[in-house]
Structure 1
Amino acid sequence: MAASEVSDDSLYPIAVLIDELKNEDVQLRLNSIKKLSTIALALGVERTRTELIPFLTETIYDEDEVLLALAEQLGNFTTLVGGPEYVHCLLPPLESLATVEETVVRDKAVESLRAISHQHSPADLEAHFVPLVQRLAAGDWFTSRTSACGLFSVCYPRVSAAVKADLRSHFRTLCQDDTPMVRRAAAGKLGEFANVVEVEYLKSDLIPMFVNLAQDEQDSVRLLAVEACVSIATILEQDDTEQLVMPTLRQCAGDTSWRVRYMVAEKFTELQKAVGVEITKTDLVPAFQALLKDTEAEVRAAAAHKVRDFCQNLDAYQKETIIMNSILPYVKDLVADPNQHVKSALASVIMGLSPILGKHNTVEHLLPLFLSQLKDECPEVRLNIISNLDCVNEVIGIQQLSQSLLPAIVELAEDSKWRVRLAIIEYMPLLAGQLGVNFFNEKLNSLCMTWLVDHVYAIREAATMNLKKLVEKFGADWAQSTVIPKVLEMSRDQNYLHRMTCLFCINVLAEACGTDITVNVMLPTVLNMANDNVANVRFNVAKTLQKIAPVLDQNSIQMKVKPTLEKLHSDVDVDVKYFASEAIAGIAVVG
């Protein structure tokens, strides 16, 4: 029957889709692709297989954004074509999408192909999916060959021995491809493929591929071979790892390209777990030393990040000896590294060595390093040390910690750069929790109050929020005896900005302190400030009364707050009037 003889109703969804896909508006075409599942439901599984999928396969010529949406949609189409029995119908359009020039489209197509591969029966996998992988692997354009690399591991476990051999052969060919992009894709998927290949073929087929890729002329290929090294070493016995993998890993750790050495540093703790404690002691410790003193800062920084985890994973019986003799001397050099990223990376993990090395070694060897880092010119280094102080506190105790490190913290809190002071304020609740209330009162409380009168507004604002967090940590009684008297004293300060800071503190402290303290201790000061000679202070009194109203009892609101707001409502200043009226309305709602 000719197409013209088919009823208009039966062709309607396809006809609409054709019109929309021909429209010049990319957004309209994109929207139509996103409606594919709805169209497929309207068509039914039979017509989706016989009309919609062939139409989509033939019309893949669109904008990358549209193709990306199509590749994503098709990965969820299994039920719409009739279930796993017919899932192979989705392969032709996805195969076409896996060959396009745009990388994100190809990647999405491969992702969808990987998803639907699991829905094929073993027979369908060999009949339909494997031939697709073989076609892509032998394609003329490098785009199809790169896409093929991501599909071997999902079909290999469920096919016959003969097909497996053919897949290994195809993968070997891709590892030796003339195009670097294909070899890079193969190197990136080698570890994944190694996880599904039988150990005998891993040794005979894949390890030679790994060795070749690790010696590739392109460093972008060699660095991806490092990732495969982790998977391969995890699978092999220790003797096989030493014989088949370690020569190549040693070579990668000393590669001429810093990018390859960087990848080794990034994967170092994974490699350490994969090869085991003996190979770590004989091979990885010297390699780690080399990475910690690498000529490139990026490599040193990546290795420095791994110091704590590497030390933690060492053989328990030899851990302390190896760290003290083989790792710590290099760590000491990094503390004075010329590159701030290296020092910052080390500072973020070095405190974690304390629990590993114990009290004596921490006091004798680590504390001098911490002190040096606390005085470092780079703020990030100093803050990374402060944020991890609890690790050291648990090991050496507060007394030792305060004598050694606190002077440096105080110095930092009074730094001339306001951003440094701001960062320390943010860490103060953390420090308070680590050091305890008595120590805090004695050593740090005066600092917190000093920040409230800082000449920088951002510091005063942060100091106000800091007080609230401290009250939440130490309790309302602590606030009443330690903080609130000093806050209320600011209401009489000559500088009106400090008087306003007093109000801001009351705003945040009211909720933390509760009704009793707010009504009896703080409210009288707020009411008294309604007579301030500066309009900004008076309208902030109105805002504060509105803010703290939910904490107050009804008697205080009726007898004290409302009369004060009525007085402010008749103020000569227009802003004071406005905020007083806002407060009156807001309190009425609360009431």
Structure 2
Amino acid sequence: MAGADSDDSLYPIAVLIDELRNEDVQLRLNSIKKLSTIALALGVERTRTELLPFLTDTIYDEDEVLLALAEQLGNFTMLVGGPEYVHCLLPPLESLATVEETVVRDKAVESLRKISHEHSPVDLEVHFEPLVKPLVMPTLRQAAEDKSWRVRYMVADKFSDLQKAVGPEITKNDLVPAFQNLLKDCEAEVRAAAANKVKEFCENLPEDSRETIIMTHILPCVKELVSDTNQHVKSALASVIMGLSTILGKDNTIEHLLPLFLAQLKDECPEVRLNIISNLDCVNEVIGIRQLSQSLLPAIVELAEDAKWRVRLAIIEYMPLLAGQLGVEFFDEKLNSLCMAWLVDHVYAIREAATCNLMKLVEKFGAEWAQNTIVPKVLGMANDPNYLHRMTTLFCINALSEVCGQEITTKHMLPVVFKMSNDQVANVRFNVAKSLQKIGPVLDSNCLQTEVKPVLEKLASDQDMDVKYFAQEAISVLSLA
């Protein structure tokens, strides 16, 4: 009787062996789908000592059967005794993760990821990491050199995650050359994805060899990418390259990185220039504003005076951002004159952008700074012989009145507008009417009635039809009739 009991206890494994050797694939598949039931019948100890070794040693089946097995094992934690014994599931899943069929490997990896969360930190280190590292690397090497650029792109895009997963030694020995190859890839999309990871990759390098690896292996590739033929590659690099300064330190930044920054600051692609200017604060922290200004200022001035007006326009649009990063003292000393010079540019689009730039600068530095630094220079243009420049004064007043507030507008800017109502050029006079309409809401009601209204009424009787029209419109809008 005892012998019969013993035979019965072996029955589930015997049946499973028999069914998995059957020629009928569907029968074998059905057997795999019953694994949880068989495991329950066996109990946790026999599942660990008999069922899992059997499954590990007999993984040679049809892909459909292997796929079902990979999925089943991801739900086996409690059937082997809970998290304490979950590492017993690693051998069969490791074997499944190396089979030829992609869907099986993917499912095995999915199950591995699932049970990884059920490992204790100690078990992860002792059991899981030694399994994953040799399983990761051959596949990773192949993927980094895959014939399909989309595969290489995905490797580049996930490179930082891979770096963190494999640790410092594998990073030094395997990932550094792989990353170099991705930075030199023949496809622009792959180079761009890799370029975007340059800072993060360098940050996560082992500290004891970080500088050597960057200077010897990464920086030469970066230098090539600065002059890449594809603007998306250059733009991706420009968005992160400034961050290398905090990693490499002052001397390396001055000697090796600044020339690259300046080259990108002159790039024909606006996005490249913007990405460099947007991250100047990283470099400022490392080498200081004085050193930065000595290298940066000539490039900014060169862009500001470029013969192509669109280049000048681009640097104007970056100026508020640049001013905020470099500070008010540097701006007043080095860049203020540039901003004023743009107000008298021969291209209207530049003058218009320069006016908008002043408003943004006042928003950044404050009304008091504007009163002391900007407003006097703007108002001085009201006496310029060129009527276009006199009109620019009015455009600036329109933009500045709102950010400067009532007191500065009433005390300093309004008298100049009134004076310009007598200008000999009709275009200036009707722009006075438009300016009064624009700044009217900033003024108090007494000023509107006693000072603004008489001037507009005078302009409403002007001989020029346009002056009359805009003056009457201003009176109507400001309810001064």
Which range, TM-score by smaller chain?
A: 0.7 to 0.9
- Which string of whole-angstrom CA distances, capped at 9 and with x for unpartnered residues, describes residues 278-297 of structure 1? 32222211211111122222
Q: 1:549, 1:587 within 8 Å by CA — same for their partners in 2?
A: yes
1:531 aligns to 2:419 (yes or no):
no
Q: 1:229, 1:249 within 8 Å by CA — same for their partners in 2?
A: no
- 1:256 deviates by 1.8
Unaligned runs of 5+ in 1: 1-137, 139-155, 178-189
Letter in 2 for 1:504: F
Correspondent of 1:339 among 219, 230, 253: 230
Distance 1:175 1:532 in 2: 89
Q: 1:569, 1:581 within 8 Å by CA — same for their partners in 2?
A: yes
Distance 2:367 2:72 in 1: 61
1:287 aligns to 2:178 (yes or no):
yes
* Alignment partner, residue 327 of structure 2: 436
- 1:467 deviates by 0.4
Letter in 1 for 2:92: S
Per the alignment, in what secondary structure is the counterpart of residue 337 of structure 1? coil
Q: 2:94, 2:131 within 8 Å by CA — same for their partners in 1?
A: no
- 1:173 deviates by 2.7
Distance 2:94 2:114 in 1: 9
* Alignment partner, residue 204 of structure 1: 92
Greater RCO, CA 8 A, separation 6+:
2
1:55-74 equivalence runs, <5 A: none
Letter in 1 for 2:225: L
Correspondent of 1:249 among 135, 140, 149: 140
Distance 2:368 2:415 in 1: 19
1:570 aligns to 2:461 (yes or no):
yes
* Alignment partner, residue 48 of structure 2: none
Q: 1:230, 1:271 within 8 Å by CA — same for their partners in 2?
A: no
Distance 2:209 2:177 in 1: 15
TM-score by length of 2: 0.76
1:406 aligns to 2:297 (yes or no):
yes
Change in CA separation of 1:463 and 1:399 when aligned onto 2, cut-off 3 Å: same
- 1:169 deviates by 13
Change in CA separation of 1:243 and 1:432 when aligned onto 2, cut-off 3 Å: same
1:149-548 equivalence runs, <5 A: 161-162=36-37, 173=64, 204-205=92-93, 208=96, 212=100, 237-548=128-439
- 1:193 deviates by 11
Distance 1:422 1:230 in 2: 55
Distance 1:253 1:162 in 2: 42
Distance 2:66 2:310 in 1: 52
Distance 1:174 1:526 in 2: 86
Per the alignment, in what secondary structure is the counterpart of residue 344 of structure 2? coil
* Alignment partner, residue 23 of structure 2: none
Distance 1:302 1:469 in 2: 34
Letter in 1 for 2:435: T
Change in CA separation of 1:493 and 1:196 when aligned onto 2, cut-off 3 Å: farther
Letter in 1 for 2:466: D
- Structure 1 segments (4+ residues) deviating >6 Å: 168-171, 174-177, 192-197, 227-230, 232-236
* Alignment partner, residue 559 of structure 1: 450
Letter in 2 for 1:161: S
Per the alignment, in what secondary structure is the counterpart of residue 510 of structure 1? helix
Change in CA separation of 1:205 and 1:340 when aligned onto 2, cut-off 3 Å: same
Give the aligned length: 412
Question: Which piece of structure 1 moves more, 202-211 or 521-530?
Answer: 202-211
Change in CA separation of 1:211 and 1:557 when aligned onto 2, cut-off 3 Å: farther
Question: Which piece of structure 1 moves more, 390-399 or 249-258?
Answer: 249-258
- 1:200 deviates by 5.4
Change in CA separation of 1:404 and 1:163 when aligned onto 2, cut-off 3 Å: farther
Q: 2:93, 2:112 within 8 Å by CA — same for their partners in 1?
A: no
TM-score by length of 1: 0.62
Q: 1:261, 1:291 within 8 Å by CA — same for their partners in 2?
A: yes
- Which string of whole-angstrom CA distances, capped at 9 and with x for unpartnered residues, describes residues 109-142 of structure 1? xxxxxxxxxxxxxxxxxxxxxxxxxxxxx9xxxx
Q: Matched residues, percent identical?
A: 67
- Which string of whole-angstrom CA distances, capped at 9 and with x for unpartnered residues, describes residues 462-491 of structure 1? 211110111122222322232112212222
Change in CA separation of 1:511 and 1:241 when aligned onto 2, cut-off 3 Å: same
Distance 2:390 2:73 in 1: 69
Q: 1:546, 1:583 within 8 Å by CA — same for their partners in 2?
A: yes
Distance 1:497 1:211 in 2: 76
Larger-gyration structure (1/2): 2
Q: 1:230, 1:274 within 8 Å by CA — same for their partners in 2?
A: no
* Alignment partner, residue 46 of structure 2: none
Q: 2:90, 2:112 within 8 Å by CA — same for their partners in 1?
A: no
Distance 2:196 2:74 in 1: 28
Q: 2:74, 2:112 within 8 Å by CA — same for their partners in 1?
A: no
Distance 1:538 1:324 in 2: 63
Unaligned runs of 5+ in 2: 1-25, 27-32, 40-51, 53-58, 78-86, 118-123
Letter in 1 for 2:284: N
Change in CA separation of 1:586 and 1:194 when aligned onto 2, cut-off 3 Å: farther
Distance 1:541 1:502 in 2: 10
Change in CA separation of 1:556 and 1:267 when aligned onto 2, cut-off 3 Å: same
- 1:228 deviates by 7.3
1:25-36 equivalence runs, <5 A: none
Letter in 1 for 2:436: L
Change in CA separation of 1:457 and 1:317 when aligned onto 2, cut-off 3 Å: same
